[in-house]
Structure 1
Amino acid sequence: MFGLSAAAIVSALLAGSTPDAVLGPPPARETADLRGALEAAELAAAEARRRQAELENRAEQASSSGERLHARIAALAAELQQGEAQALFAAAQLARVERRIAGLENTLAAEQAPVAGLIAGLQQLARRPAVLTLLQPGGLDDAVHLRIMLAHAAPVVEQRTRRLRQQLREQQELQAARRRAMADLRLRNEAIARLQAALGSALQQQRALAAEARQAAFREEGAAQELARQARDIGELVARADAQAALAARLAALPGPVLRPQAGIAAAPAIPVVAATTAGPDAPRPGAYVLAAVGEVVAGFGEIGPDGVPRSGLALRTRPDALVLAPASGRVAFAGPFRGHGAIVIIDHGDGRTSLLTGLGPLDVRAGQSVAAGDPVGRAAGQSMPLGIELRQGGRPVDPLAAAAAGRRVSPR
């Protein structure tokens, strides 16, 4: 009979009452991962802000239009990286709020189910004439039993109602936080788009000023492409670039006339940037190393890869089209596509140091071009292909993160 059904609902309500059945904190691992992402984004943004202020100061002190343009490009690149780091931070904040909302909605559904069942049962019972209840066998006993259970259930219902009101208020606050986080992320992305346009315009101006050096660039790029055709894999390509740089250094040290080197090994004269980095106390220290992009490390230096071999560099997951910078000053030994690695850039830093950047899309440099630390070299290909960063000294791998943290000349492991 229906009285027993309503009693069963009340019993279930009493048995399932748990005063602490509210939304708990997120799992420890999830909290640690999110905290790590936020801290990494904050550190990247702080470093980019420092570099941007330094470069803007250098731009103001530049004496020629070419120097000012080059310093302006470097400052825009630093500002863009700062914006990308802030966008990563905003995305992490939004993800945290979304997870809290999802957890709260699940808790609300679990809390509301027994109360909703009890209310529905009591409404049906209230619509039933009392005479029918008294005339049914056992109806009076059931009614007395139900009244006693409802008296005990009243405090539980009141407690659950208070808890539901609290959770509904929290849900409203979280939804407001989600709207704020989404608006913040939208503003960050709009700022990134504006900076990308400004940087692209400045790079076009620089390329226009460097038009007279393009012929030499084509010769240099042709020699680099010949290296790519001769190399069987990317490791051999880096080794060939190292050998080419070493040969050029030895030839430059020889007195008197220099014999023409062999084809495929010779390097055309390097194309200078339109304006060299301004010297002075604010200039980067010789050999200073900066991380090429903002992103999440998905494979660390020295980690054992699927092939059982320790990794010789880093792999970063970046924003699509993220800006990639030259980690240190030097000369571009190779810039172009390479099978299985997207577009790649090899930079010879001198003193036996070489950087390899893989997983790039559009490039802003070409072989033979001189770059300073922090100059844009291109854009990341996207999330489908991580950005690879390798640093070698004397042919031996060096941890790029340690080199960037040290901010000074590095030594091989």
Structure 2
Amino acid sequence: MKGLAVFAALALCAVSASAEVDAAAEARAAALKLEEASLSLAEAETSRNRVKALTQTVQAYEGGLAALREGLRRASIRETQLTRLLQSKEAEIAQLLGVLQAVGRAENPTVLLHPDGPEGTVRAGMILADVTPAMDAEAAKLRDLLTEVKVLRELQEGAAETLQVGLSGAQEARRALSEAISERTDLPRRFTEDPVQTALLIAATETLEGFASGLIEMTPEPEGISALPDISHRKGALPLPVQAEILLRPGEADAAGLVRAGLVLATRPNALVTAPAAATIRYRGPLLDFGNVIVLEPQPQLLFVFAGLETVFGDVGQVVASGAPVGLMGGNDPKIDAILSQSSEGTGQDRTETLYIEVRQGKTPVNPEDWFQTDKDG
């Protein structure tokens, strides 16, 4: 934890020195988030509800790493801006330093005596008195700029250890979460899957639309709890199931010209996918060319389809709580050097995985943005 503490201290210094305080403030907050996440991981191992505690720990790591990356990116941009500013003012800086050095070498007041006598000395003193505050102000500005550049560079140089700690912690938290889920036996169940019926549906399916429509028709007889409460009042307020950026909205064509009815999200490797609301798992597993798919039914005739996962959690028929983990995205965590390189280039192109979200009301696809919180104007 020493590296995290040092990193946070550097970031705090940057806050006081920088006009762009957001970058350093985010970096400082990120370091603290990662430190808190490491403590949460230790506590989660002994928690009575390990799955919930570990889910929160994974999300804490993901949030901290995301904030750290953004803080580094903005710090790098700020450093570049300051370096260019200083380079553009090299001549002025050299002149200012020359004057300050000349004044500093004065050993006694007689050096400042004017050759025209007392009257000239007085005039020269008055001019110097007017100029000195301006010179001091310029010197202070220069000192602040140089200090900020130094702190930002130290912040970035110290980020490698912090990133390594965060990535390792997140990986361990995901491993522990997967293990805890595999050992969980207390989830309520609405029905038991008929594997033959599911296999026949998959065999007869050529599209995601056809599969989802088939699921709607396959209304299983409930064996356990009754149907879940209506969530219509939460329409438009549901959180996205994963930390992501929107790549494509409904109706927008992809690079191949394909148009879909759902959202395509860009996520980071191994990102945790959670249930946006309490729901029954209607399907989980590979489907067509979508990779692993999980279909959630938060209320009768309403399906949330998440496609493109690497790992899916739970069993068909089980009921998961709002915010419960339902899977992980694929990919590999980037190397530290790659993250730092992206930051130094001022880019954040590290969302390499894609999750497809489709919402279906009965057999009809509806706009996921009617249900999920997104920046529709973005």
- TM-score, length of structure 1 as denominator length: 0.53
Change beyond 3 A, Cα 1:315–1:97: same
Q: Given the alignment of the two structures, is residue 324 of structure 1 paired with residue 273 of structure 2, yes or no?
A: yes
Counterpart residue number, 1:104: 82
Q: Given the alignment of the two structures, is residue 94 of structure 1 paired with residue 72 of structure 2, yes or no?
A: yes
Change beyond 3 A, Cα 1:233–1:113: farther
Which of 288, 296, 301 aligns to 1:347? It is 296
User: Where in structure 2 are there 5+ consecutive unaligned residues?
Assistant: 1-17, 95-131, 332-350
Q: Given the alignment of the two structures, is residue 74 of structure 1 paired with residue 52 of structure 2, yes or no?
A: yes
Change beyond 3 A, Cα 1:285–1:176: farther
CA distance in 2 between partners of 1:83 and 1:349 (Å): 28
CA distance in 1 between partners of 2:325 and 2:169 (Å): 18
Which of 163, 170, 173 aligns to 1:195? It is 173
How many pairs does the alignment contain? 276
**SS of equivalent to 2:284:** strand
Conservation of the 8 A alpha-carbon contact between 1:224 and 1:333: no
Change beyond 3 A, Cα 1:177–1:350: same
Change beyond 3 A, Cα 1:354–1:375: same
Which of 276, 281, 286 aligns to 1:337? It is 286
- TM-score, length of structure 2 as denominator length: 0.58
Counterpart residue number, 1:84: 62
CA distance in 2 between partners of 1:87 and 1:401 (Å): 27
Counterpart residue number, 1:362: 311
> Kindly, what percent of the aligned residue pairs are identical?
24
C-alpha deviations, 1:334-356, integer Å up to 9, x for none?
A: 22222332211112333211010
Deviation at 1:298, TM superposition (A): 2.6
Deviation at 1:364, TM superposition (A): 1.8
Counterpart residue number, 2:261: 312
Which of 315, 321, 324 aligns to 1:372? It is 321
User: Where in structure 1 are there 5+ consecutive unaligned residues?
Assistant: 1-23, 61-67, 117-154, 253-268, 277-283, 407-413
**SS of equivalent to 1:377:** strand
Counterpart residue number, 1:169: 147
Counterpart residue number, 1:7: none
Counterpart residue number, 2:363: 395
Conservation of the 8 A alpha-carbon contact between 1:241 and 1:333: yes
One-letter code aligned to 2:197:
A
CA distance in 2 between partners of 1:325 and 1:169 (Å): 43
CA distance in 2 between partners of 1:201 and 1:347 (Å): 22
Counterpart residue number, 1:409: none
Conservation of the 8 A alpha-carbon contact between 1:341 and 1:359: yes
One-letter code aligned to 1:341:
F
**SS of equivalent to 1:386:** strand
Deviation at 1:318, TM superposition (A): 1.8
Conservation of the 8 A alpha-carbon contact between 1:81 and 1:293: no
Deviation at 1:320, TM superposition (A): 0.6
Change beyond 3 A, Cα 1:79–1:166: closer
Change beyond 3 A, Cα 1:291–1:74: farther
Report which of the two has the higher share of helix. Answer: 1
The higher radius of gyration belongs to 1
Deviation at 1:361, TM superposition (A): 0.5
Deviation at 1:357, TM superposition (A): 0.1
**Matches of residues 202-281 of structure 1 in structure 2 within 5 Å?**
202-206=180-184, 219-220=194-195, 222-245=196-219, 248=220, 252=221
C-alpha deviations, 1:39-88, integer Å up to 9, x for none?
A: xx99xx9xxx9xx9xxx9xxx9xxxxxxx96x431342233223312321
Change beyond 3 A, Cα 1:358–1:205: same
Conservation of the 8 A alpha-carbon contact between 1:111 and 1:164: no
CA distance in 1 between partners of 2:369 and 2:63 (Å): 17
